Structure 1
Amino acid sequence: MSTPQVPFPMPDVLVRNWKWLVGIGAALVVMGIFAILAPFLASVAINAWIGVAFLFAGIAQVAQSFGKGGWRESVGHLLIGAVYILGALLVIFDPLAGLMAFSLVIVVMLAVSGVVRLYEGFRMRPAKGWGWMAAAGAAALVAAIAIYAAFPGSAMWLLGLIAGIAFVSDGSALLALGLAARKLDRA
């Protein structure tokens, strides 16, 4: 039996490890479905994880400030570390404020990317595909406006919903890749 021909050969390491791809993909899909079904719990968990990450980053910056270098370098690292630690404490001890802050950051990112994509789409006109770029920009802008209009209530579910959608899409991609690798492994 001959090996199936594919336009882009799959790396051998993926073919050998297809079970891992399928397992991780399935786990991500399950976690994503949970996050979509319980977006508030997922948002709180993500918020806490970010807070802990900020805390460790702040501690590392403060520790680095006592390393080699002059006082000017030390003060900069110390101030950056203090900002990270203060942000971490806010997120950890007042999770609702953290959720609101992160949600506003997402709204701003969506709005800015929407405006830029709209501009780029219309600037590309009449080239093929310009409408897709403009439509993507309009969709991002509408999403930003809708989330902001529902604020502060949207802050309670936004991070969890976004994470859930990302987990489901990434997990689905890994599942598809793993199943394709499985076919090649069996061939």
Structure 2
Amino acid sequence: MAVQSSIPRLSEVRGKWGWFVALGLALLVFGFIAAGNLLWATVVTVYYVGMLMIIGGAVYLAHAFQVKAWKDTIYWVLSALLYLAAGVLAFVNPQLTAKVLTLLMAWALIVSGLFRIWVAMRTRPDAGWGWLLAGGIVTALAGLVFLIGWPVNSLWLLGLFLAFDLAMQGWALIGFGLALRKA
């Protein structure tokens, strides 16, 4: 008995190539708008993270009261309150939140880069290990540069990441849509 995959095949989306190109163009425009005002894009990013944390906190709180008989309910409530507080802080003081997020991002990049370097060194005899090493070095150095520029760069760095991501996703969808058209 064959199980049919729920993943759409290329032939199923080929006729929708124009939608991919249109979405790609929209994301590309949004990326350029974000790049035009990095401070604004940083604030939007902080508000987005804050909104997600408030929603997460509300879900945690609802969950905490669903497990009333559980002796650790207080820990779920405290976790929910921390999420809610962090989300509210993003709206009350977006500048402080941007600084904290930028600092966390810098350290995450440093740790991630060092981990990738370690993985590359462990795979040194295998082909392509140099690419892993180069990627790890670039990631760790980016984190170090962000850390050195902190907290001044917190006003624009998150916005730059948003602008870059929007533009890259836009280009990727345009390319994918045009490739579908040719196929």
Q: TM-score, normalised by structure 2?
A: 0.88
Cα distance in 2 for partners of 1:88, 1:155 equals 18
Length, aligned pairs only: 175
In structure 1, the residue matched to 2:117 is 118
How many percent identity over aligned positions? Answer: 29
What residue identity is the alignment partner of 1:86? Answer: A
In structure 2, the residue matched to 1:62 is 61
| 1:14–1:178 contact (8 Å) kept in structure 2 | no
Cα distance in 2 for partners of 1:71, 1:129 equals 50
Cα distance in 1 for partners of 2:93, 2:35 equals 23
| Secondary structure in 2 matching 1:72 | coil
What residue identity is the alignment partner of 2:16? Answer: N
Cα RMSD of the aligned pairs, angstroms, is 1.5
- 1:144 to partner: Cα distance: 1.0
- 1:95 to partner: Cα distance: 0.5
Cα distance in 1 for partners of 2:108, 2:169 equals 21
1:73-84 pair list within 5 angstroms: 73-84=72-83
Going from structure 1 to structure 2, the CA distance change for 1:170 and 1:70 (only over 3 Å counts) comes to same
In structure 1, the residue matched to 2:162 is 163
Q: Which runs of 5+ in 1 are unaligned?
A: 1-9
Going from structure 1 to structure 2, the CA distance change for 1:17 and 1:73 (only over 3 Å counts) comes to farther
- 1:68 to partner: Cα distance: 4.4
1:143 aligns with 2:142: yes
In structure 1, the residue matched to 2:131 is 132
Q: Which runs of 5+ in 2 are unaligned?
A: 1-8
- 1:13 to partner: Cα distance: 2.6
Please give the per-residue CA displacement for 1:11-52, whole angstroms capped at 9, x wherever unaligned: 123212111101111111111122223221111001011111
Cα distance in 1 for partners of 2:12, 2:104 equals 39
In structure 2, the residue matched to 1:39 is 38
What residue identity is the alignment partner of 1:120? Answer: V
| Secondary structure in 1 matching 2:68 | coil
- 1:73 to partner: Cα distance: 4.2
Q: TM-score, normalised by structure 1?
A: 0.87
Please give the per-residue CA displacement for 1:108-156, whole angstroms capped at 9, x wherever unaligned: 1100111111122222224321221111111111111111111111111
| Secondary structure in 2 matching 1:17 | helix
| 2:107–2:147 contact (8 Å) kept in structure 1 | no
In structure 1, the residue matched to 2:15 is 16
Cα distance in 2 for partners of 1:120, 1:62 equals 39
